[in-house]
Structure formats: structure tokens, C-alpha cells
Copies of this chain bind each other. A is one copy, B any other.
């Protein structure tokens, strides 16, 4: 198992990278669609049972050739990053919305505009408080990289100012101060009207072994391009 910040290096042309991203992305999108249908469907139970048999048959075909365990992260010889299994941004992970996070290295911030549908529900019609935390954790981490001091979550504090309705949302995160390998990062989640629904503050820390690995490999920090 690779350790964080030590991506596998894979030989892959940009053309093949793009082709794979397209095919895998559409597969994951169809499973996201099925996931919403699983929550919403009211077709009769016998039909659902028959369709479930078909779905398991397709799963078996996809499983005929596969990797073991989790996806991990990899970087191609041309520098394209793949964190396709990531639960927030992973192209191939149907659990992920997936978020497309924009990192601004000039300003040291990370932003995202996205939609959270019925799959992310907590209280009726609202985003699950833990899903807000999930999204903000990822965004704060990417703001860490954007501000020049990446790290893993050490602490994360969330303040829920009002319920977050399911639907169109946005979020923003920025560094509030870097000390050595510790980056204090703040962020906010906004509803469609721009109201702050959740505030986050986290301390992101780059562990010693990761610093050593980065030194040894002379790789730049993964830019989380997707």
C-alpha cells in the first residue's frame, strides 16, 4: 500500500488518460444515477427484484478483471494525477458527487460549485451535517496545497449556522496562517443564495515521513488535477 503523498508512477499517454477518464467517468455517472433511482423508485417490487438480478450480473462482468483493494493515487509520466477512488472528488467513485475543486495557487485558495442531491440527505430535504464536513475536509485540504503547505487533517472544527438545503451549493477555503508544516485553514459552505451554512476551521499537518518522502522523490506535491 502506498502512503499518502507517494503516488504510484504509471506510464500512460495523455490520449489514453483522456480516453480512460471519459469511459470510467460515464460508468461512475451511470451508477450515481442508479443510486438516486434506488432512493426514489416506486416501480413494483417484482420488477425491482428482476432489475437487481441484472445489476448483479453486470457487476460480475465488471469484477471479472479488477484490482484488489482501494484505488490509491497515481501520477502519469506526463504528470497527470489520478485520485479516482477519493470519496469526494474521485472520478471513478460513485459515492463522490464528484466535486470539481478549483485551486488558485496565486491566491492560495480552493473553491467549488456543485450540487448535492438526494444521495446526501440527513434531515429531510437537508444536506447531512457529516456530508458538509466531508466536503469541507476535502476543500480545506486542497486549500492547503494551493497555499503552498499541504498536509493531512489534524483537527477539524465545524460550526453549523443554519441547515443546508439539498441542491446547488458552493464552498471556499483559504489558509489563515502557516507555521512550519502546520497550516491553519478556514472554509465556508454556502447555500444557493450565498448564505453561509457551515463554517470550518482545520489544522492540516504534513507528517515527517511524508516530508521525507517528498524530499527523496523530488516530486512536486500532487496538484489534484482531475
Interface residues of A (CB under 8 A from B): 1-4, 6-7, 19-20, 23-24, 26-28, 30-31, 33-35, 37-43, 45, 47-49, 51-52, 54-56, 58-59, 61-73, 84-88, 90, 92-95, 117-126, 128-131, 133-138, 141, 152-160, 163, 166
Contact = CB atoms under 8 A, between A and B. Distances in A.
A152 B132 CA distance: 13
A157 B156 contact: yes
Contacts of A54: 54, 58
Given A39-B70, A155-B160, 12 more contacts: A4-B124, A30-B55, A40-B69, A40-B71, A43-B61, A54-B54, A73-B124, A87-B121, A87-B122, A93-B118, A94-B119, A154-B159
A152 B160 CA distance: 9
A43 B66 CA distance: 7
Contact of A121 (B61, B86, B117, B131): B86
Contacts of A158: 133, 153, 155-157
B55 A58 contact: yes
A49 B23 contact: yes
Given A120-B95, A136-B130, A47 B61 contact: yes
Contacts of A55: 27, 30-31, 33-34, 55, 58
B134 A39 contact: no
B23 A48 contact: yes
Contacts of A41: 27, 62-63, 65-66
A213 to B, nearest CB: 12
A86 B35 contact: no
13 contacts: A7-B124, A23-B45, A27-B38, A27-B55, A34-B55, A38-B93, A39-B71, A39-B85, A87-B130, A129-B137, A129-B153, A130-B135, A154-B160
Contacts of A154: 159-160
A86 B31 CA distance: 18
Contacts of A134: 128, 130-131, 133-134
Nearest to A42: B65
B30 A124 contact: no
